[in-house]
Amino acid sequence: MDLSLVARDSVFPYTRAREAGIGPDELRRRLREGQCHRLHHGWFTTEDPSDDMTRHRLRTVALLEQYGTKAVASHVSALIRLDLPTYEPELSVVHLMATDPSSRGHRKADLLVHPRPGPAIRTRRRGAPAPPVPASVSALPDTDRATTHPALAIALVGLAGPLDFLVPADAALGRGLVTREDLTRAVSVLRGRPGVHRVRAALPRCDGRHESPGETVTGFVLRTLGHRLVPQFVVPTTGQWTPGGQGYRADFGIVGTKVLVEFDGRVKYTSAAALWEEKQREDRIRSLGYEVVRLTWADLKDPDRVRGLVDAAIRRSARRN
């Protein structure tokens, strides 16, 4: 039997395989032959969970089926399920959130089932009736993909640090999955949580114009260094060189200077022709008096290096102009 007949979203429990006539000996054989792979006790996948991100995604699918309507994906598990980027995520633990407001949640070594947000739920006396869910929580409904609201998942992940918040927040804003009001409401839901001050401080820096995690981190580093920025800066007078006259865009323009900053963390050049076109583009921009600073992930890990590169470009630009 083709295992895809018993798998749902590429995962299946042993009980469903057994009901389809696949006994333990045959399942072990298929495991040895690589037709399926073990996720956790009693659950398997027809995909190859060859990296931590894939294994986390598949384990989340399996656990959601196990819990049925009792839980939805939350925190980083929700972001992965919603195809939102994350910043240096911890993938060894799957995060779910109970759908019952009275649930106190529970934890295992590789699973956390969180209670619904709201300090009253966490502090109520044993045996006391559960208070109603705060209105701000009910205004952020779970999604039809069995996840918490994207804004709530983003805010929960952001408790760890500003970039943990900004990377998925910028992507969600750019895709129209959330609004600034959604993010503000989610932060208010988490008031009193350890780390919420970091999320609240990062909230004004969200910008859906950042087109990749690398651009988000670049913007964060540059702003922290004191620079004012224009994301997706259109270089004046370059429309003559582009179809439709839209002009060349740089990832960032530094306000008050003729310095542009580009993030170079993604593969842009798939051919010699593409590389030549990029060189021609940059030569034309420089001919207009601009300096271009290209930053990589390694540069962004070293803010002092970024400061030196940008300051040197500002000095060169001032001499030229």
- Are residues 111 and 76 in contact, defined by beta-carbon separation less than 8 angstroms? no
Q: 231 and 294 in contact (C-beta within 8 Å)?
A: no
Which own/partner pairs from 279-286 qualify as long-range (CB within 8 Å, at least 24 positions apart)? 281/241, 281/248, 284/238, 284/241, 284/248, 285/235, 285/238, 285/248, 285/250, 285/260
- Determine the Cα angle at 97 with ends 73 and 160, to 5°: 80
Q: Are 300 and 218 in contact (CB under 8 A)?
A: yes
Closest CA relative to residue 210, chosen from 201, 219, 223: 219
| Residue type, position 191, single letter | R
What is the Cα–Cα distance from 309 to 316, expressed in whole angstroms?
11
C-alpha–C-alpha distance, residues 11 and 16, integer Å: 10
Pick from 271, 269, 266, 320: nearest CA to 295: 266
For 106: left if phi > 0, alpha if psi spans -120 to 50, otherwise beta; the answer is: beta
DSSP 262-301: EE--S----SHHHHHHHHHHHHHHHHTT-EEEEE-HHHHT
3-state secondary structure of 103: coil
Please state the φ and ψ torsions of residue 142, each to the nearest 5 degrees. Answer: -65, 160
Evaluate whether 146 touches 57 at the Cβ level (below 8 Å).
Answer: no
Q: Which domains does the chain possess?
A: 1-48 (no CATH), 69-205 (no CATH), 213-320 (3.40.960.10)
d(CA 120, CA 125): 10
- Dist CA 289 CA 37 (whole Å): 57
229 CA to centre of own chain: 22
pLDDT of residue 13: 97
Q: DSSP letters along 10-70, please?
A: TEEEHHHHHHTT--HHHHHHHHHTTS-EEEETTEEESS---SHHHHHHHHHHHHHHHHGGG
Q: How does pLDDT run along the chain (321 residues), one tens digit per residue?
A: 889 899 999 999 999 999 999 999 999 999 999 999 999 999 999 999 999 999 999 999 999 999 999 999 999 999 999 999 999 999 999 999 999 989 999 999 999 999 998 643 333 444 545 444 455 555 799 999 999 999 999 999 999 999 999 999 999 999 999 999 999 999 999 999 999 999 999 999 999 999 999 999 999 999 999 999 999 999 999 999 998 899 999 999 999 999 999 998 655 555 667 677 788 889 899 999 999 999 999 999 999 999 999 999 999 999 887
Rounded CA gap, 195 and 162, in Å? 9
